[in-house]
Structures are given as C-alpha cells and as structure tokens.
Structure 1
Amino acid sequence: MSLPNDPVILLSYINTLLRDKYPSYEELCKSLCVSADDIEHKLNRIGYVYDPDTNSFR
C-alpha cells in the first residue's frame, strides 16, 4: 500500500487509522509495512509529533 505523499493528507490518514483501527503507532507501522521513522520525519517537518497518550500525531 502506498501512503499519501502530501504531509497534511498523510497526517489525516495516519490519525484516522490510529483512531479507528490501531491501538498503537507501532502496530500501525508493522501492519502497513512502513517505516515509523519515514512517517515521523514527514510529519515532524510540518510540526507534528506522535503522542502515545492520545495515540495520535499532534
């Protein structure tokens, strides 16, 4: 599966998956076979970091 390239759309997509399907970011990455570092780098560039307490990027 290919993730959205646009960081704002990626943010929305990842947060929706975390809210609706995955109990943790680690499980999402493992299930989708994607690099956590790659996603974090893209979202960090627009000012978002993963918050494990809310299981979302904020």
Structure 2
Amino acid sequence: MSLENIPKDPVMLMSFMNMKLRDKYSSLEVLADDLDISESELKELVERLKSAGFDYNSSRNQFI
C-alpha cells in the first residue's frame, strides 16, 4: 500500500490507522511492515497525526 491510498485528512487518517491497529495489527511497526510503509513514511504519518493533536498510545495501540 502506498501513502497515496492513505487518507490525507488528519481525522480520517486517525480513524483509518486506529481501525487497522484494532482489527489487524499489534503495533505501528507491524502495520508499517505489512503495508510496506518505510520507517520514514511511518514517521511522516505519525507527525501528521501529532500536528493534528493525535498521539500514539502504545499500551492502547491507538491514536488518542
């Protein structure tokens, strides 16, 4: 999956990521590996979410 197919809107991106994490992946790293998202692309996604006020909580495995 390329970043082109991932929502650009921060709220939609947060919802997309949380759905994937909830339904299929045990961590951000597993999600990135399975979706062929590079480490730098993952950092970009996390920063995009952080700038919109969403932080990743590893113990809950979701963005809040």
Give the TM-score taking structure 2 as reference length: 0.83
Unaligned runs of 5+ in 2: none
Give, in angstroms, the shift of residue 30 of structure 1: 1.1
State yes or no: 1:15 paired with 2:18.
yes
- Match of 1:25? 28
Q: Which structure has more helix as a fraction of its residues?
A: 2
Unaligned runs of 5+ in 1: none
Identity of aligned residues (%): 38
SS at match of 2:53: coil
Distance in 1, matches of 2:32 and 2:59, equals 17
The root-mean-square deviation of aligned C-alpha atoms, in Å, is 0.9
State yes or no: 1:46 paired with 2:49.
no
1:52 maps to a residue whose letter is S
Distance in 2, matches of 1:33 and 1:41, equals 18
